[in-house]
Amino acid sequence: MSKILFQAFKSTNQQLNGHGKRNAGVLKEALQEIDDDQESDIYGSGPLIEDFQDKMAKYLGKEKAVFFPSGTMAQQIALRIWCDQKGIKKVAYHPLSHLEIHEEDGLKELHHIEPILLADKDRVIELEDVQNMKEDISCLLLELPQREIGGQLPEFKTLEKISAYCRGNGVKLHLDGARLYEILPYYGKSAAELCSLFDSVYISFYKGIGGLAGAILAGEEDFIKESKVWKRRHGGDLISLYPYIISADYYFEKRISKMDQYYKETKELAELFQQCHGVSTKPEIPVSNMFHVIFHESKEKMEEVLIEIYEKTGIGITAYVNAINDNQCGYEVTVGDLYSQIPKNALRNLFELLDERMKGN
């Protein structure tokens, strides 16, 4: 059944989610203006990689930055360095952190670091969670927004208090900023202002930015120097990373100024869903370009409804739904370039149809 939904989604002309298909055209567009003679980076050296690292360090307000093939690698390494520095192999993060649920326990298996899970699964980490922690840790990792619960955020004041608490208690604060750009409109802060609360920061280039892959880790000079040694140990110091760097830079320039637009459109889209019978969103009011949609209908029934809507409207809402329980299912919304390409009347029509079908008409 899921496969049928996926196929129906692929056959639509327009989609609510994202920037478009992940295909070779994404790379080819980024390479269009690049000269054949453009020299490759070589094992982390050369102007192509160094200039981009400098640019991102400046954007994040940090001394230095290093480009990594993946965030998985960058973040394990950041935590390892902080643990080695303090001599305590414990860190704290949210129970639904990427490190805990998507990395096959790399942090434990490769680095023998024990994570302390803070807060309940369904809410973000608050100051009290940090203050009440009994264990002595080297580093606290905050993921902003907390993706797996629909992209929720603590208040900025809370971040300031957590940062001050950590600094006062010899705990490093690391930012999982896979979706950093996407939260700046809500906080009304620059990247550098937000990052000033953190000792180390990771950002990604294939979420809101829509590049191919790749990550930046930023921090003080010594920290970044050490991270390059670990990058080689992990097998991430490739002779050429330029396909990722060129596309990261290209799509950063193309989309960084559109984060405000995505944020506004996301709030608009969440309202459209909420106006439908039997549909809710998490969070109710989005704080970035993402949220979760919850359909109060079984996965099987919902797939039928969605396929019918795709066929009637030519607009794809989602390629999948995951069962939450027997009577609910859901999926993750990420607003990118595609949303604004859909005419408003087509959108209205789509949500009227969804509302009708959810009422059982």
Length of the chain: 361
Structure-block tokens of residue 322: 């995951």
Q: Which of the stretches 50-58, 64-72, 264-272, 339-347 binds its own copies when contact is defined by CB under 8 A?
A: 64-72
Q: Is the dihedral of CA 255, 265, 177, 239 positive or negative?
A: negative
User: Is the separation of the CB atoms in 19 and 338 below 8 Å?
Assistant: yes
- Which of residues 246 and 305 has its CB atom nearest to its own copies in the complex? 246
Q: Which of the stretches 133-141, 206-214, 280-288, 309-317 binds its own copies when contact is defined by CB under 8 A?
A: 206-214
# of chain residues touching its own copies (CB under 8 A): 51
CA 18/CA 250 separation, integer angstroms: 17
Instruction: Single out the residue of 114, 107, 99, 194 nearest to residue 147, CA to CA.
Output: 99
Residues 6+ apart with CB under 8 A from 332: 147, 150, 290, 291, 292, 293
CB of 41 to its own copies, least distance (A): 9
Question: Among 2, 7, 13, 25, which residue interacts with its own copies (rule: CB under 8 A)?
Answer: 25
Give 191's DSSP letter.
H
Annotate each residue in 215-244 with x if it binds its own copies (CB under 8 A) or - if it does not, as one string: --------------xx-xxxxxxxxxxxxx
Q: Does 148 bind its own copies (CB under 8 A)?
A: no
Q: Which of the stretches 103-111, 142-150, 155-163, 275-283 binds its own copies when contact is defined by CB under 8 A?
A: 103-111
**Bridge partners, 332 (sequence order):** 292
Q: Which of the stretches 36-44, 133-141, 173-181, 248-256 binds its own copies when contact is defined by CB under 8 A?
A: 36-44
Q: Does 105 bind its own copies (CB under 8 A)?
A: yes
CB of 17 to its own copies, least distance (A): 15
User: Is the separation of the CB atoms in 244 and 233 below 8 Å?
Assistant: no
- Which of residues 204 and 328 has its CB atom nearest to its own copies in the complex? 204
139-143 and 114-117 strand pairing: unpaired
CB of 22 to its own copies, least distance (A): 4
CA 93/CA 69 separation, integer angstroms: 23
Q: Does 27 bind its own copies (CB under 8 A)?
A: yes
CB of 46 to its own copies, least distance (A): 10
Structure-block tokens of residue 246: 């060129």
Question: Among 15, 76, 281, 289, which residue interacts with its own copies (rule: CB under 8 A)?
Answer: 76
Q: What is the DSSP string of 229-291?
A: HHHHHHT---S--HHHHHHHHHHHHHHGGGHHHHHHHHHHHHHHHHTSTTEEEESSS-SSSEE
Question: Among 9, 206, 273, 310, which residue interacts with its own copies (rule: CB under 8 A)?
Answer: 206
Q: Which of the stretches 20-28, 56-64, 259-267, 334-342 binds its own copies when contact is defined by CB under 8 A?
A: 20-28
Taking each helix axis from N to C end, the angle separating 180-187 and 259-274, rounded to the nearest 10 degrees, works out to 80
Question: Among 2, 11, 13, 38, which residue interacts with its own copies (rule: CB under 8 A)?
Answer: 38
Question: Among 1, 7, 39, 340, which residue interacts with its own copies (rule: CB under 8 A)?
Answer: 39
Instruction: Single out the residue of 164, 97, 169, 99 nearest to residue 137, CA to CA.
Output: 169
Q: Does 89 bind its own copies (CB under 8 A)?
A: no
Q: Does 70 bind its own copies (CB under 8 A)?
A: yes
Question: Among 59, 67, 68, 93, which residue interacts with its own copies (rule: CB under 8 A)?
Answer: 68
Q: Which residues bind its own copies (CB under 8 A)?
A: 21-28, 31, 34-40, 42, 68-74, 76, 103-106, 109-111, 206, 212-213, 229-230, 232-244, 246
